[in-house]
């Protein structure tokens, strides 16, 4: 028997995939599928397009998408979203930021976002969990090192005061953090399949070439990332559990 969940998840859409990947639809669809949410279990608000942020009541939690925008540009829609997220976090709403969403959440809570000093991080990467991640609801029991998909130029240079940094990579010291008991940010993309990741590598091939990197080699190294996807699904289960669902 299917269980019906009365509270949907809110997905804040902060950007669109690269043009060549839009035939696979947008980030909210990728996230919903990866998270195991039915169509009626998610409400999408396109904040980048100027759609109004809703009242926070009635949602199981909020997921913030990635974007080609930069948090440091301080766009009006982004700053409005940051204020909304700060209040939501302080009120105890379950939050999960992905890539841009991770950086936006860090910014909203007083952290520092800027250009990654190590340059572009792209492809299937190795995440290393800190030992205390084994006490975290989303990361406990996962391997100490596992694969994840990543594509970003900016990063969380300094996590918000009081946040717990949970994971790092060779290029990024803050690949995941938790603030309080209900707010998480992940720099990696748990919603990306290998197809999505290869598409992004191909779309960025000229930029990669300019940086002295080989897109074909990066694309060949792309693999599935089931543990990264588990983190997103665990957020959904955890948020529902907080509401007794």
> Catalytic one among 13, 41, 48, 99?
99
Q: Which of 102, 152, 189, 238 is catalytic?
A: 189
Gap between the Cα atoms of 218 and 211, Å rounded: 13
Handedness of CA 32, 108, 147, 209 (dihedral sign): positive
Residues 206 and 146: beta-carbon distance below 8 Å: no
**Is 189 known to be catalytic?**
yes
135 is catalytic: no
* Tokens of residue 171, six digits: 């290029």
d(CA 207, CA 201) in angstroms, rounded, equals 10
Task: Report phi then psi at 3, rounded to 5.
Answer: -95, 125
Give me the half-sphere count of Cα atoms (radius 13 Å) on the Cβ side of residue 53. Answer: 19
Point out the catalytic residue in the list 191, 196, 227, 238: 191
> E-assigned strands of the chain?
9-13, 42-46, 61-64, 95-98, 112-115, 121-129, 145-152, 154-158, 164-168, 176-179, 183-186
Active site residues: 99, 189, 191
């Amino acid at each position: 028997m299917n269980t019906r969940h009365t509270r949907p998840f809110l997905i804040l859409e902060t950007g669109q995939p690269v043009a060549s990947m839009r035939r696979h639809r947008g980030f909210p669809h990728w996230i919903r599928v990866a998270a195991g949410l039915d169509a009626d279990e998610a409400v999408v608000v396109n904040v980048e397009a100027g759609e109004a942020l809703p009242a926070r009541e009635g949602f199981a939690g909020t997921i913030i998408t990635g974007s080609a925008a930069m948090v440091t540009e301080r766009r009006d829609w982004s700053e409005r979203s940051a204020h909304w997220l700060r209040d939501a976090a302080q009120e105890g709403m379950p939050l999960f930021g992905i890539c841009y969403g991770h950086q936006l959440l860090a910014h909203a809570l007083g952290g520092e976002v800027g250009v990654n000093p190590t340059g572009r991080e792209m492809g299937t990467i190795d995440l290393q969990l800190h030992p205390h991640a084994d006490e975290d609801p989303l990361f406990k029991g996962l391997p100490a090192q596992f694969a994840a998909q990543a594509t970003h130029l900016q990063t969380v240079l300094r996590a918000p005061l009081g946040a717990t940094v949970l994971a790092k990579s060779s290029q990024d010291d803050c690949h995941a953090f938790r603030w309080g008991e209900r707010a998480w940010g992940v720099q990696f993309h748990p919603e990306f399949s290998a197809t999505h990741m290869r598409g992004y590598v191909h779309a960025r091939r000229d930029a990669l070439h300019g940086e002295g990197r080989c897109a074909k080699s990066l694309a060949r190294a792309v693999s599935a990332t089931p543990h990264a996807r588990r983190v997103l699904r665990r957020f959904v289960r955890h948020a529902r559990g907080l509401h007794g669902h």
